[in-house]
Amino acid sequence: MSKQYETVIGLEVHVELATKTKIFCSCSTEFGGKANTHTCPVCTGMPGALPVLNRQVVEYAMAAGLATNCKITQRCKFDRKNYFYPDNPQNYQISQLYLPIARDGYVEIETDRQKKKVRIHEMHMEEDAGKLVHDEWEDCSLVDYNRSGVPLIEIVSEPDMRSAEEVIAYLEKLRTILQYLGVSDCKLQEGSMRADVNLSVREAGSTEFGTRTEMKNLNSFKAISRAIEGERMRQIELLEEGKPVVQETRRWDDNKEYSYPMRSKEDAQDYRYFPEPDLTPIIISDEWIAEVKAKEPEFQTEKISRYQEEYKLPRYDAEIITNSKKMADLFEQAAELCGQPKKVSNWLMGETMRLLNENNREPEDIPFSPENLAKLVNLTEAGIINSSVAKEVFEKVFAEDVDPEQYVEEHGLKTVNDEGALREVIEKVIAGNPQAVADYKGGKEKALGSLVGQTMKAMKGKADPAMVNEMLKQCM
Amino acid sequence: MDIRSLTAVELGRKIRQKEVTVKEAVEAYLTQIEAVDSEINSFVTVDREGALKRAEEVQRHIDQGMLTGPLAGVPVAVKDNLCTKDLLTTCASKMLSDFIPPYTAEAVANLERAGAVVIGKTNMDEFAMGSTSETSWYGPTKNPWNTEHVPGGSSGGSCAAVAAFEAPLALGSDTGGSIRQPSAYCGVVGIKPTYGTVSRYGLIAYGSSLDQVGPIARDVADCAAALQTLASHDEKDSTCVERKDTDFTGALTADIKGMRIGIPKEYFGEGLDEEVKARIMEAARTLAAQGAVVEEFDLALVPYAIPAYYVIASAEASSNLARFDGVKYGYRAQGYEELHGMYKTTRAEGFGAEVKRRIMLGSFVLSSGYYDAYYLKALRTKALIKAEFDKVFERYDIILAPAAPTTAPKLGASLSDPMKMYLSDIYTISVNLAGLPGISIPVGKDSRGLPVGMQLIANCFAEKKLIRAAYSFECATNRRYVAGVCSGRFQTQEEGGKQDVETV
């Protein structure tokens, strides 16, 4: 490629709010459940049914707006977005166009290169749609309205991002903020956080925007990165060949690593928005805003500083742990219980992250309690179990949240500190391995390792390795 | 005693006094329906079995002293755009010709809680779109006073049922005059309450910001009692208002001394039938003779009401009716290809011409590029009309007007010219745009023997003034106009009503 190009990216992020009930009726928002069991006349679009706004949705949306430095629209309204699709039972979606709840905010992101602000154009409340299920056997489509009416906020950024790295940083930032607020669990895989990427390219130095495309169906950070890279290259190739980029919506296929056009601007739907006549305007008082603001939790940035100061954690550890509200909470509670913040941090940074990755889970899914992690730390620190036993026990804690004290007791995993028993075993090992003993005595330090290993094995791992080392040297 | 000759409140009293059983009351009306409805076509569905079963239950509750209100045991006919659990609710459309709702509209539930017995669902213009009750998929309803004429619409079935003694009381809905205009054509009393007084939950929406449910009966006292029962603060309807002034029967006093009544000059100009005009002015003089101060004034924004109304109502309707798509309930066409084919065929076959016309009109005015010019302008006009009425009500307690420019037109005369039909709503739609309450009461007949209705309009939440003025008129004229039906034959009769009314 002869020219230098700049990528310009803006994001539309949909986030499912963690309310117990739906936005306009009292049906449960629980994920899963038998098809059409969390439904009523309102969320299935029955004739004559009317929406009633869930106050909690407004409060969560306000919290999200305030935490991202937005201005709250104190008289905001809902509008109808009209389009036909079977997952949309009324054939209109209740959303906000003219007076969205929050506008003109920003979040600060940090990448290897620099810190920067990504501006938020607006944030609005709306209802989610149901799900279509195609029955291949019967060759028909079925619709499940359990998700219909689950509250969403859509966060629309300005086109302020220039790389996949910045996009991921922005999404991680949003996710952390929303999780800290407790307004959403933001799980990409379950679809509680979904991002549409608007992307265009332009020659470096140009101030005009190129023609953008919108990409949908991105359900992991990796998919988002790959899609951005793929779309960027596709657009540059078109420009290099002198062909125009067509303004259209494209669907990303992460398996094929390619995007396909869904609909072009020409078939863009006219949503015929108009003010929702079934709902009255929402009046948000200064007091209400202050109340929501007062409930704001300690956010990540503040936590990182505090962890460094209060717990003496390295900045790196503090950042990793506070990336997830769930992990930060767990850390603070476990540290409080056992008084060993650095040890707790080590378990979280090391084994916990390893097992999460292996199981393809997110920190929000951490299944064990702070009590059991604290007990494990205590057992190790007191020398009751050694570190390799501790790892084994931790796997149990991670998998089943077992009580480590009870588990160690039941399985007889305590380190044997009985010198007599250990000496007996060591003497047997020395007697059975004359060659290794001779090697060690001949100056081969390595040979000691094998003897320690055999001793530990004979002790079923329940000895203190340092003690074994010491005693072996003595006996030889 | 002929049960059918009693008003709803009188019948309720006789039931409480054990002179009439609920079953007798229900049977009397079912018998009348059987005798006359083949000619009138007021009903889409008659729920004989359900009503008789319900009658027994209500009787038991009355006997046990659990139901003591004025409407306990009184049969009621319900417009077919109000959902009734387990009872067919069609909106007089092929689209919903098999729709059985899983829930009951709050307005109907309020009546049922008061012990009223639903006897059936009444015919109407399809989805309440029309002024003659001729656009029904179930065929037109006829005016009981003269079956060659329409009963008006869209609540034509409910008004005709009350006029033909098929029900003592009925529920209608009014988006642009759909209670008041057919009440006038049928010689009965109908109230369109202040927007937000009666819950719209379960009312199949036409124009959500204009729709309001209201009572239709043979006299003002019945309407007052019914409205008192219908009004409730329903949390299921966000536009529903909490009111503490709903003791409407308490306003049944024939005292209007000093009441300021304004007559808008613009309502008495071109287009108003001379005979209708004469009857209304006569009624105005009657009210003046009772001590009201009656004078004329200018209502400047009248010409803008019709276009604003048709833009707003059609826009909302185009969206409200989008849910009828063949996916979830109601009619689904046979033989189509792909999803869009199903939508198109289902909606093409399921909706009638007038409904399609308004969906197209509504979709057009909301389209990008036209929204500001039509919909937004209509909303501004609506706000201006409301502001003008606010000013008017600083000077007057009541506005007096005709309910319709003519008496009931002949069947078939309006459908051929929709613009003419739209223009006939001129006196009623401003009330909906401003959210005001209005009442229509019979004030006489034209030379052909067709009823003339007078409309009284008050400021928001001032239904009591309407009831007081209308009741005063009723008492002063010593008569009620109703179409009497004897032995299955139609004949028009004037009843001496004063004595009956006074014993309420």
Answer yes or no: do A47 and B323 touch at CB < 8 A: yes
The torsion angles phi and psi of B223, rounded to 5 degrees, stand at: -65, -40
For B205, the closest of A48, A82, A274 (CB atoms) is A48
User: What residues have CB less than 8 Å from A353, skipping those under 6 apart?
Assistant: A320
Residues comprising chain B, all counted: 504
Answer yes or no: do A47 and B105 touch at CB < 8 A: no
Answer yes or no: do B322 and A86 touch at CB < 8 A: no
Distance from the Cα of B57 to chain A's closest Cα (Å) equals 27
3-state secondary structure chain A: CCCCEEEEEEEEEEEECCCCECCCCCCECCCCCCCCCCCCCCCCCCCCCCCCCCHHHHHHHHHHHHHCCCEECCEECCEEEECCCCCCCCCEEEECCCCCCEEEEEEEEECCCCEEEEEEEEEEEEECCCEEEEECCCCEEEEECCCCCCEEEEEEECCCECCHHHHHHHHHHHHHHHHHHCCCCCCCCCCCEEEEEEEEEEECCCCCCCCCEEEECCCCHHHHHHHHHHHHHHHHHHHHCCCCCCCEEEEEECCCCEEEEEEEHHHCCCCCCEECCCCCCEECCHHHHHHHHHCCCCCHHHHHHHHHHHCCCCHHHHHHHHCCHHHHHHHHHHHHHHCCHHHHHHHHHHHHHHHHHHCCCCHHHCCCCHHHHHHHHHHHHCCCCCHHHHHHHHHHHHHHCCCHHHHHHHCCCCCECCHHHHHHHHHHHHHHCHHHHHHHHCCCCHHHHHHHHHHHHHCCCCECHHHHHHHHHHHC
Q: Where are the domains of chain A?
A: 5-288, 298-410, 419-475
Q: Is the Cα dihedral A247, A252, A257, A261 positive or negative? A: negative
Answer yes or no: do A143 and B327 touch at CB < 8 A: yes
Per the listing, tokens 């002790």 go with A459
State the CB neighbour count (10 A cutoff) for residue A193. Answer: 22
**Chain A residues inside the 8 Å CB shell of B97:** none
For B238, the closest of A50, A80, A82 (CB atoms) is A50
Residue A2 has pLDDT above 70, yes or no: no
Q: State the Cα–Cα distance between residues A324 and A431, nearest whole angstrom.
A: 53
Q: Are A44 and A22 in contact (CB under 8 A)?
A: no
| Beta strands B43-46; B75-79: pairing state | unpaired
Residue B79 annotated among the catalytic residues of the structure: yes
Taking only the tens place, the pLDDT of each residue in A65-74 is: 999 999 999 9
Q: What's the confidence (pLDDT) of residue B480?
A: 58
Q: Which has the closest alpha carbon to B153: B41, B248, B54?
A: B41
Distance from the Cα of A86 to chain B's closest Cα (Å) equals 7
Give A185's Cβ-side CA count (13 Å radius).
18
Answer yes or no: do A47 and B103 touch at CB < 8 A: no
Q: B80, B319, B379: best mutation site toward chain A, by most A Cβ within 10 Å?
A: B319
Answer yes or no: do A84 and B343 touch at CB < 8 A: yes
Distance from the Cα of A94 to chain B's closest Cα (Å) equals 11
What is the value of pTM for the model shown?
Answer: 0.89
Answer yes or no: do B327 and A86 touch at CB < 8 A: yes
Name the strand (E) or helix (H) holding B117: strand B117-122
CB contacts < 8 A (A, B):
102
Q: What's the confidence (pLDDT) of residue B187?
A: 94
Q: Is the peptide bond before B183 cis (omega within 30 degrees of 0)?
A: no
Nearest C-alpha in A relative to B199: A50
Q: What's the confidence (pLDDT) of residue A445?
A: 78
Taking only the tens place, the pLDDT of each residue in B17-31 is: 999 999 999 999 999
Residue B406 lies in a domain: yes
Q: Which has the closest alpha carbon to A191: A251, A124, A131?
A: A131
Taking only the tens place, the pLDDT of each residue in A149-185 is: 999 999 999 999 999 999 999 999 999 999 999 999 8
Q: Which has the closest alpha carbon to B211: B317, B124, B106?
A: B317
Q: Which domain holds residue B34?
A: 3-301+382-502
Q: State the Cα–Cα distance between residues A20 and A37, nearest whole angstrom.
A: 15
Distance from the Cα of B316 to chain A's closest Cα (Å) equals 8
Residue B337 lies in a domain: no
**Chain A residues inside the 8 Å CB shell of B366:** 82, 272-274
Q: What's the confidence (pLDDT) of residue A438?
A: 83
Tokens read off for B122: 């009444």
Q: A36, A40, A50: best mutation site toward chain B, by most B Cβ within 10 Å?
A: A50
Using an 8 Å CB-CB cutoff, list residues of chain A that contact chain B.
Answer: 41, 44-53, 80, 82, 84, 86, 89-92, 143, 270, 272-275, 277-280
Nearest C-alpha in B relative to A26: B236
Q: Catalytic: which of B14, B79, B445, B465?
A: B79
**Where residue A264 falls among pLDDT bands split at 50, 70, 90?**
low
**Chain B residues inside the 8 Å CB shell of A143:** 327
Answer yes or no: do A48 and B327 touch at CB < 8 A: no
Domain containing residue B51: CATH number: 3.90.1300.10
Taking only the tens place, the pLDDT of each residue in A47-56 is: 999 999 999 9
Distance from the Cα of B499 to chain A's closest Cα (Å) equals 41
Q: In whole angstroms, what separates CA B54 from the centre of its chain?
A: 25
Q: Are B108 and B5 in contact (CB under 8 A)?
A: no
Least confidently predicted of A25-29, A463-467, B135-139, B173-177: A463-467
| Beta strands B260-264; B293-297: pairing state | parallel
Name the strand (E) or helix (H) holding B109: helix B106-113
Residue B500 has pLDDT above 60, yes or no: no
| Bridge partners, A153 (sequence order) | A15, A125
Least confidently predicted of A130-144, B152-166, B390-404: A130-144
Nearest C-alpha in A relative to B366: A272
Residue B469 lies in a domain: yes
For A50, the closest of B81, B201, B319 (CB atoms) is B201
Q: Catalytic: which of B136, B158, B173, B178?
A: B178
Q: What percentage of chain A reaches a pLDDT higher than 70?
A: 98
For A272, the closest of B105, B327, B366 (CB atoms) is B366
| Bridge partners, B399 (sequence order) | B262, B457
Residue B183 annotated among the catalytic residues of the structure: no
Residue B373 lies in a domain: no
Q: Which residue has the higher pLDDT, A451 or B354?
A: B354
**Where residue B491 falls among pLDDT bands split at 50, 70, 90?**
very low
Q: Maximum distance among all alpha carbons in chain A?
A: 94
Residue B141 lies in a domain: yes
Q: In whole angstroms, what separates CA A261 from the centre of its chain?
A: 29
Give B69's Cβ-side CA count (13 Å radius).
20
Q: DSSP code of B231?
A: B
- The CA-based dihedral angle spanning residues B105, B111, B113, B117, taken in that order and rounded to the nearest 10 degrees: -100
Q: State the Cα–Cα distance between residues A347 and A369, nearest whole angstrom.
A: 13
Q: State the Cα–Cα distance between residues B162 and B299, nearest whole angstrom.
A: 33
| Bridge partners, B441 (sequence order) | B454
Residue B372 lies in a domain: no
Provide the ipTM: 0.94
Answer yes or no: do A278 and B239 touch at CB < 8 A: yes
- For the residues B244-257, what does the mean pLDDT come to? 95
Residue B334 lies in a domain: no
Integer CA distances (angstroms), B279 to B145, B190, B273, B283, in order: 18, 18, 10, 6
**Where residue B39 falls among pLDDT bands split at 50, 70, 90?**
very high
Taking only the tens place, the pLDDT of each residue in B441-453 is: 999 999 999 999 9
Taking only the tens place, the pLDDT of each residue in B460-488 is: 999 999 999 999 999 998 665 554 443 33
Q: Terminal CA-to-CA distance of chain B, rounded, Å?
A: 17
Nearest C-alpha in A relative to B99: A47
For B323, the closest of A53, A90, A275 (CB atoms) is A90
Answer yes or no: do B366 and A278 touch at CB < 8 A: no
**Chain A residues inside the 8 Å CB shell of B173:** none
Answer yes or no: do B366 and A50 touch at CB < 8 A: no
Residue B403 has pLDDT above 70, yes or no: yes
Taking only the tens place, the pLDDT of each residue in B94-121 is: 999 999 999 999 999 999 999 999 999 9
Distance from the Cα of B314 to chain A's closest Cα (Å) equals 12
For B239, the closest of A89, A273, A280 (CB atoms) is A280
Q: B204, B206, B238: best mutation site toward chain A, by most A Cβ within 10 Å?
A: B238
How many domains does chain B divide into? 1
- The CA-based dihedral angle spanning residues B283, B286, B290, B295, taken in that order and rounded to the nearest 10 degrees: 70
Answer yes or no: do A80 and B200 touch at CB < 8 A: no
Q: Catalytic: which of B154, B155, B414, B424?
A: B154
Answer yes or no: do A84 and B325 touch at CB < 8 A: yes
Answer yes or no: do A48 and B96 touch at CB < 8 A: no
A419-475: CATH class: mainly alpha
Distance from the Cα of A218 to chain B's closest Cα (Å) equals 25
Taking only the tens place, the pLDDT of each residue in A320-368 is: 999 888 899 999 999 999 999 999 999 999 999 999 989 888 888 888 9
Residue B123 lies in a domain: yes
Q: State the Cα–Cα distance between residues A210 and A243, nearest whole angstrom.
A: 13
Residues comprising chain A, all counted: 476
Answer yes or no: do A48 and B91 touch at CB < 8 A: no
Answer yes or no: do A47 and B239 touch at CB < 8 A: no
Distance from the Cα of B200 to chain A's closest Cα (Å) equals 7
Q: Which has the closest alpha carbon to B82: B186, B150, B178, B181?
A: B178
3-class secondary-structure state, position B421? helix
Distance from the Cα of A140 to chain B's closest Cα (Å) equals 11
**What DSSP line would sit under B402-419, residue for residue?**
ESSSSSPPBTTTTTT-HH
Q: Which has the closest alpha carbon to B198: B222, B183, B210, B214?
A: B214
